[in-house]
Amino acid sequence: MKKVIILVVCLCSMIKILGQTYEREKPSLVTIQHRICFYGRYELNKDGLYQYKECNDNVVTSNDYYKLSDGNERFFGYDKKYNRYYFYTNNIIGYYSPTQLVDIKDFKKKIIDNKVPIFTLEDVPQIKNIARNILDKVYKEKNDSINEVRRIAREKQREKEIKDSLEAIRRKAEELDEYRKNHSWHDLCLDYAIKINCKFCDLEHLERTFHVLSLSSDTIYYLRDNPDIKMLGKSLIGIHYAEIKDVLKQNKKFKEYLEIWHDSLALHNEFTNDGAKTINLYNYMEFKSNILKEAPYGYVGNWGWNLNSADGVEPYFSFFNTSEKTIKYVDFYFSLYNAVGDRCYLRYDKSYTGHVRGVGPVEPGSSGFWEWDRATHYTSADASEMRITKVIITFMDKTVRTLTGNAIKYE
């Protein structure tokens, strides 16, 4: 009981004088012969914060102590039996034992003069805790300061990221607005051609650009870049309809298109198959009517001639039937001209007009093609141009139509 009372009194006395403990200027321990032991020290951990590390009576040399220690030594206890002087620096808690007599006498005198408490070995845990509590407060403040600096840095970084993000959003919005001003939601351009199957014409199209009429989550109604039918300089562009498959959904340009034109597409997603078919039928009938007005019986398609080594004329002709009746024969009449526009006679009968007959049948809406590789007409070698002068069409019902001049139409 007496020993406990003495320990409490000593601890209270030490606590009272810790702020005034005897200090020696660094590197006092390096200049003397001694044995230095560490109980523990404070060092930075992997997180960049200070942490106390137990050293378990780690013995170090004077040089190592000088490298590891930070700050002056504060002597807060003395063990007379083992001649141990307990101290702590800014980062180390430990003790040392002088080995030279002059140092022992000097330190004992300083300990007595500065009233440093005297302890026994059994009191070491309490002694270490007192020094540890003091340094823990110091390093808590350091860690708190480090964390505060980091917190401020994180907040500044977050503020910068938010600011940069908002600026990026603003610039993106301006770019999209500018893009929308100069482009139309109808125009879908992909970065590579994609195969899609039209449900109307039952054909597979390889497309890179679409003129979109309506688009929903799984359906696209579109016009193609190239006309579906082209006759006599007139074009028919039909509405096509296809399911949106994964190959299109995963296309980068298609995703960008959906993002840019989201609002416009939302207003144009109610196209129906019946509506599209009605429009296609109307456009086709109008296209057909215009063709019939210009060429009610048909028109000349691919045609021309060759001159063989014997000056024999070998012509070829195609004819498209625009009428509702089947063609039986197509008779072509032609003349040849030289480079200065003079007619060249056909030598076998001294005539200026040649004639060949194409034999059908040529069904309505289809084309017939004929070529003659055995010459029945011969002309001079300076002939360089052929002109069709007349086309006589004989139908299966024996009706005949004769086309001359501007009535002969060409593709």
298-407 domain in CATH 1.10.3470?
no
pLDDT at 364: 92
- Determine contact, residues 80/10, Cβ cutoff 8 Å: no
Q: Start-end ranges of CATH 2.60.40 in the chain?
A: 298-407
Query: What CA–CA distance (Å, rounded) separates 166 from 169?
Result: 5
Place of tokens 């350091």: 142
Query: What CA–CA distance (Å, rounded) separates 125 from 328?
Result: 123
Q: Tell me which residue of 335, 317, 334 sits closest to 372, measured CA to CA.
A: 317
Query: What CA–CA distance (Å, rounded) separates 100 from 123?
Result: 26
Query: What CA–CA distance (Å, rounded) separates 369 from 93?
Result: 109
pLDDT at 212: 87
pLDDT at 34: 61
Query: What CA–CA distance (Å, rounded) separates 2 from 406?
Result: 138
Residue 120's Cβ-count burial label (10 Å; 0-12, 13-18, 19+) is middle
Q: Give, in order, the Cα–Cα distances in Å from 257 to each of 155, 183, 190, 251, 272.
A: 36, 11, 9, 10, 22
pLDDT at 399: 93
Per-residue pLDDT of the chain (411 residues; tens, 9 = 90+): 444 434 443 444 343 333 334 444 444 554 445 678 888 899 999 999 999 998 877 788 777 788 888 888 888 788 877 778 888 888 998 888 776 655 666 667 777 766 777 777 777 777 788 888 889 999 999 999 999 999 999 999 999 999 999 999 899 888 888 888 888 888 888 888 888 888 888 888 888 888 888 888 788 888 888 888 888 888 888 888 888 888 888 888 888 888 888 888 888 877 788 888 888 889 888 888 888 888 899 999 899 998 888 888 889 999 999 999 999 999 999 999 988 888 988 877 778 888 999 998 999 989 999 988 887 888 887 888 899 999 999 999 999 999 999 999 888
3-state helix, strand, coil in the chain (%, to 5): 35, 40, 25
Number of H helices and E strands in the chain, helices first, is 8, 22
- pTM, two decimal places: 0.54
